[in-house]
Amino acid sequence: MTDSQPDNPGIPVSSLVRAYQCPRRYYFSRHDPVPVSDRYIICKQVSLTGAVMNEEEIWDQVSMVHPDIDPGMRAYLSECLTRVSRMPAVSWTESDISVSSPRLGIHGMIDKYDSGTEKMSVVRCTRAPAAGCWPADRIRVAAYLLCLLETGGISLPGGYIEYIPDGIIRYCEPGPRDRRALLQAAAMTRRINQGEL
């Protein structure tokens, strides 16, 4: 699996999920840039670090990735590290892999992929639900699995969702309902992008 930019970017998976969660809010904010949150940057760095967690080193890395990060976010990093210390690490060989589905007209970036075990992982900076995965995360995983299949010919039944703030990993295997929701969300996002509400 190699990192590649999609030829026809189409709809970002993040936009598709935002439109699914709240079509009206997406409609009014679709032309506004969506900055990457400080929380996501911290969670991503924690996830990529692996088993040995040194707060000072991770904060140093976070500051290099995002020089303008609010120093007050250091407390959030500490909380995440406390929770993640009990979580098994998800192995990975590649990160930030650009994938796309020309068939559906979507593209996105997979956080982590392990070519040895063929596992895909998505990093989230949200709290985990009491059980299972959030519906939006199920659609996110379904979208990435479709893109991974079309980009790299890799067919996986599911992927992992790392809820870093809770130190919880959940396996998500999208079913027909999730894939239908993905198709509906993609069609709705296209209509909204064309100015319909």
- At 9 the pLDDT is 58
Mean pLDDT to the nearest integer, 77-93? 89
- At 51 the pLDDT is 65
Mean pLDDT to the nearest integer, 108-136? 95
Percent of residues, the chain, with pLDDT higher than 70: 94
pLDDT of 107 strictly over 70: yes
- HEC per residue, the chain: CCCCCCCCCCEEHHHHHHHHHCHHHHHHHCCCCCCCCHHHHHHHHHHHHCCCCCHHHHHHHHHHHCCCCCHHHHHHHHHHHHHHCCCCCCCCCEEEEEEEECCCCEEEEEEEEECCCCEEEEEECCCCCCCCCCHHHHHHHHHHHHHHHHHHCCCCCCEEEEEHHHCEEEEECCCHHHHHHHHHHHHHHHHHHCCCC
- At 30 the pLDDT is 86
pLDDT of 2 strictly over 90: no
How does the average pLDDT of the chain come out, rounded? Answer: 91
